[in-house]
Amino acid sequence: QAQLIESGGGLVQAGGSLRLSCAASRLAFSGYNMGWFRQAPGKEREFVASVSSFGGMTYYADSVKGRFAISRDNAKNTMWLQMNSLKPEDTAVYYCAAGSTLGRLTNGNTDYWGQGTQVTVSS
């Protein structure tokens, strides 16, 4: 069974930065499009960003454009989310996801999910 493990979450002040990592195992990583989603308390899980299997295409939610950057290294089976200029409304559990179809992944139809990492932004 494929495994996705997120790390890098934590507590940060507004305006600060965090870098999330997603390490994949037992997965043909380069064959999957990857994405980040988040879920805030009392809200539905929402799309944050996605990257195509070889990194050539990236997509972002409007709420994070210009502040977050998604990247991947297929040789390391790892994906990252660099989060800058963090706001309190970015507080959520962030999930890593893998999907065989980029469009479906962006809509939340994924093949695999990670367990999530908590990001808390204080004002």
Query: Within 13 Å and on the Cβ side, how many CA atoms surround 92?
Result: 21
pLDDT tens track for 62-106: 999 999 999 999 999 999 999 999 999 999 999 999 999 988 888
pLDDT of residue 108: 86
Instruction: Read off the tokens for 23.
Output: 């390490």
pLDDT tens track for 24-44: 999 999 999 999 999 999 999
First to last CA, the chain: 40
Query: What residue type is 15 in one-letter code?
Result: G
pLDDT of residue 99: 95
Q: Are 86 and 12 in contact (CB under 8 A)?
A: yes
85-to-40, 47, 68, 92, 115 alpha-carbon distances in Å: 18, 18, 8, 15, 25
